[in-house]
Amino acid sequence: MSKNLKINGKDHTIDLPDEVPLLWALRDELSLTGTKFGCGVAACGACTVHIDGEAVRSCQIQIADVWGDVTTIEGLGTPAALHTIQKAWIDHQVAQCGYCQSGQIMQAAALLRENPTPSDTDIDDAMMGNLCRCGTYPRIRAAIKTAAAALNEEV
């Protein structure tokens, strides 16, 4: 019943039934509440985290099946040490209610890692699983482009 997970570079032992989704281990067991619950059926992307750098829906992955190191929004950057993508989000003042934004940012981070110069279609394809009820899509698109440019300059 207990499982060892590496999350944001730290080892954690989680004492929950195997089938509990990663999302709910993060939120309720570890109080990593930056990752959000929106639908529970892989339809909204609010719960997006990385496993070994790949964007996954944490509401769909049982803790027993987690195959690698987990990174959540808290591990991407912090208010004191913002990630380039988070800075781009601030530049474009993307968030409204903000509830979907952890998932949006984690999804965008995975996109930019795989594809440093995404076209509009690439952005559509990567981001279409992430809902935003406030309708921040135009600014998300702009922020991804700014982040891409900034990341390319960094390397």
Residues in the site for ligand FES, rule: CB under 6 A?
37-40, 42-47, 57, 59, 95-101, 132-134, 136
DSSP one-letter string for 76-103: H--SSS--HHHHHHHHTT--SS-TTHHH
Cβ neighbors of 130 (< 8 A, separation 6 or more) are 44, 45, 46, 48, 100, 103, 104, 107
Examine residue 58 and tell whether it contacts another protein (CB under 8 A): no
The interface partner of residue 47, options being another protein, ligand FES, none and the CB cut-off 5 to 8 Å by kind, is: ligand FES
Q: What binding mask, one character per residue, do residues 13-32 give for another protein by CB under 8 A, x or -?
A: ---xx--xx-xxx-xxx-xx
**Crossing angle for the helix pair 84-91 and 101-114, nearest 10 degrees?**
120
Q: Does 57 bind another protein (CB under 8 A)?
A: no
List of residues contacting another protein (CB under 8 A): 16-17, 20-21, 23-25, 27-29, 31-41, 43-44, 46, 72-74, 77-79, 82, 86, 89-90, 93-102, 105, 123-125, 127-141
